[in-house]
Amino acid sequence: MRNMSPFARAARPFGLVASALLVLLMVHTTVAVLARQLLGLSMMSLVEVSELALIGIIFIAMPGAFLRDENIVVDVIDNLVPKKVSRFLYLLGLVMTLTFLVVAAYAMIEPATAMFNRTQTTMVMEIDRFYHWMPILFGFYLAIAATILVLVYRLRSGASDQ
């Protein structure tokens, strides 16, 4: 852990929480299947818990992926152009990513606020639908912060690790 970069260290809690949610999802699904097959019991909460856990897994892990700079990249042109052009394209990609995240996060404000004001719940467990929006907003806003940190770091360091 000492050899980890500060960004990788900061990303670690996001990965741990997402991993814990994945384990919860797998255990809950396994118990539901076994209860149905062996005991004939039906766990009505399976879909709702799975839905919420999956949202959490995806969006809580998202800032960690941005902090570790482990987004999916296709480096078709990187080997064909000079390093300076490659670096410029990398930084341009970060700026475009940041722009997308900001626009998407802004677009989510209205539906999340509407969901908060309407108080819709799930059918079986009556989980407030706003709780589905919390990890989404959390993930997007922290991904914005992470992208800004990575962009500033890459601009200051003068090189990319790509």
Task: Please check whether residue 87 lies inside any domain of the structure.
Answer: yes
Asked whether 136 and 55 are in contact (CB, 8 A), the reply is yes
Task: Please check whether residue 80 lies inside any domain of the structure.
Answer: yes
Residue 162 has pLDDT above 60, yes or no: no
Task: Please check whether residue 162 lies inside any domain of the structure.
Answer: no
Task: Please check whether residue 143 lies inside any domain of the structure.
Answer: yes
For the whole model, what pTM was predicted?
A: 0.84
Task: Please check whether residue 94 lies inside any domain of the structure.
Answer: yes
pLDDT in tens, 6-47: 888 999 999 999 999 999 999 999 999 999 999 998 888 888
Q: Residue 101 sits in which domain range?
A: 6-157
Identify the pLDDT of residue 129. 84
- Count of CB atoms situated within 10 Å of the CB of 132: 19
* 65 vs 72: CA distance, rounded Å: 10
Q: Considering its fold, how many domains does the chain have in total? A: 1
